[in-house]
Structure 1
Amino acid sequence: MTDDGWDAELVESTLRHAVPQLAYLIPDFHNPTGLLMPDDTRARVLRAAHRCGTWLVVDETLTDLALDVPAPLPCAAHAAPGASAQVITVGSMSKSHWGGLRVGWLRAPSRLVTELAAQRVAHDLGGPVVDQLLALYFLEGARASVPERVARLRERRDALTGALAAHLPQWTWRQPPGGLSLWVDLGAPVAAALAERALDYGVRIEGGASFAADPGVFEQRLRLPFTAAPDVLREAVRRLAAALADDRPVPSAAHRPRWIV
């Protein structure tokens, strides 16, 4: 993946040479970049995976959180006839409805679903009943609850970007059309140091290296979620600016405050 999105040629080349049995994708409002995979790229990736016999696990957990665009079609809808049999689509209600609701779902060929369900029962005898009842309640009111959550997230995203523009104008980012976070470019490889210093100011953030397969990559990036209330986000950005300006040695964990924004 590049700053501009998915490198379809690299994906095709990797699948052709490595021939993996399984590949994992987040095409909708990708975490952490927030990018949305174009329809033509989806079709290319699906064709390439089908040619190589690679199963795709497509994570659609964030699909409903479309802030500026219509919610995208399922990725499997872009597959050629017959190729969709190699797509396993997964999702969760923890992002679209409530973070504490750890109820997920899976869409795949019926035989594979049956086999996976049997494995689930063998491991933990099934999911919590109360959680499933709560999930049913949310699903019955999804037409109202999801748009309300999207509207709140849009307001919070605007609060975060406004605060960044006011307090940290040297940072840059691409406005994500959906999802839950900004992928911020700090302009210098200081993400890890800033994340450590921010703890001293009561702010917990993740440096870009946490989302990289190779050490040292994305050290100039921060993922900043916009899930908190607008006032909390504005205060967090103010503290981040103060932490960035603080050039004292980073204190040990024992001397940091326990309150985290």
Structure 2
Amino acid sequence: MAPDATIDLARAAPGVPEDVLAAALAEAAPALASHAHTPGYHPYGLPGLRAAVAERFTRRGLPTVPEQILITSGAQHALTLVLGLLCGPGERSVVESPSYPNALEALRRARMRTVPVPVTEDGWDIAALVSALGRAAPRLTYLIPDFHNPTGLLMPAPDRARVLHAAAGSGTWLVVDETLAELALDVPAPTPFAACGAPGETGQVITVGSMSKSHWGGLRIGWLRAPARLVTELAGQRIVTDVGGSVVDQLLALALLSRGPELPGARLRRLREQRAALTGALAAHFPAWTWRQPPGGLSLWVDLGEPVAPDLAARAREHGVRIEAGSCFAADPGVFEQRLRMPFTLPPDTLREAVRRMASAAADRLPPAGTDRGPRWVV
């Protein structure tokens, strides 16, 4: 890394090893040739990839057939398709706070009214969540129960069952984001959320997932699992936006998935090393900061002890570190200004250098009023 290069801590997204990508490309090439004489449009996704994703759900404990799978251009695309088909302006959506900023923005752009439920260091306020499901009569509920972004928390199985029961009673469409589910660092990988409910309680559960965090965001391959009838309707919704996904990317995704746990296993080992490097650097440079080590995921949710995160983020930019304050993850404005989400997706030495630069920024003066920080881009 060049000494003056900007270190990006706003995007919690790992790269893919070059040799792994090259091998997958070589494996996908013969299959691509067999598609060359076809039109190449697959609104539902390539049949082989749909079958592979269905089999992954089944293997994890949620029996699934390919007809329940729609391949999308990432989990965010899956969410926007759902919002476009099922939701209208002014309808309510229950969300966690904090939560994934791009999902919150998608809900805002759909002109939905969000009903935030807190996620604290101790986990979800399940009583508040169950109450919101009954009281608000939401059209849609969006949750990240598996290594929650940004806190890294994992929702316990009994709480999942309570939420599914309450959601079924309220009639809400429950969108479960499992993008981070494979990134189990200290615990076994969780069972799919929809497998935790009683019979008849999962008819309105939509599970979205992606290869962005477990494999590589550059693929732009995600999926959703839903009742087959709804998948058909959502495929019609996606035809008017992008007709269908790239055959090349889908074949490459299939080649990567066919490698089994090899790539995810190596990634988990690197993430543990990188997490240790980040926590060690933070302890050395910022002993007053606190955090709870997450059992999985890609980031720490760091408490600075006072609401200075926006100012520190602005100063850090002047020192070559791009990071967003915790308020970026809030469902309501003006909260989490004492928090930073700090990903551990970069090499250990880069993370140590980022913390060193942030320590210099913390000791520096405030930037001039009105400093332009550029557009937000958080993943």
TM-score category of the 2 structures, normalised to the smaller one? over 0.9
User: How many pairs are equivalent?
Assistant: 256
Counterpart in 2 of 1:4? 122
Structure-to-structure mapping, 1:1-261, within 5 angstroms: 1-250=119-368, 253=371
**Normalised TM-score (structure 2):** 0.66
Q: 1:121 Cα shift?
A: 2.0
Quick one: distance in 1 between partners of 2:362 and 2:239?
49
Quick one: distance in 2 between partners of 1:199 and 1:249?
10
Quick one: distance in 1 between partners of 2:238 and 2:327?
33
Runs of at least 5 residues in structure 2 that lack an aligned partner in the other structure? 1-118, 375-379
Name the SS of the counterpart of 1:62 in structure 2: coil
CA shift digits 1:2-25 (9 cap, x unpaired): 221100110111111111011000
Equivalent position amino acid for 1:75 in 2: F
Moved over 4 A (4+): 251-256
CA contact 1:200–1:251 (8 Å) conserved in 2? no
Quick one: distance in 1 between partners of 2:279 and 2:254?
34
Q: 1:142 Cα shift?
A: 2.9
Equivalent position amino acid for 2:280 in 1: G
CA shift digits 1:154-194 (9 cap, x unpaired): 11111100111111111100001100100000001000000
Q: 1:132 Cα shift?
A: 0.9
CA contact 1:181–1:223 (8 Å) conserved in 2? yes
Counterpart in 1 of 2:46? none
Quick one: distance in 2 between partners of 1:160 and 1:53?
43
Quick one: distance in 2 between partners of 1:28 and 1:135?
22
Give identity over the alignment, percent: 69
CA shift digits 1:191-210 (9 cap, x unpaired): 00000000000000110000
- Greater RCO, CA 8 A, separation 6+: 2
CA contact 1:32–1:183 (8 Å) conserved in 2? yes
Greater displacement, 74-83 / 123-132? 123-132
Runs of at least 5 residues in structure 1 that lack an aligned partner in the other structure? 257-261
Q: 1:114 Cα shift?
A: 1.4
CA contact 2:314–2:373 (8 Å) conserved in 1? no
Greater displacement, 54-63 / 240-249? 240-249
What value does the CA root-mean-square deviation take over the aligned residues? Answer: 1.5
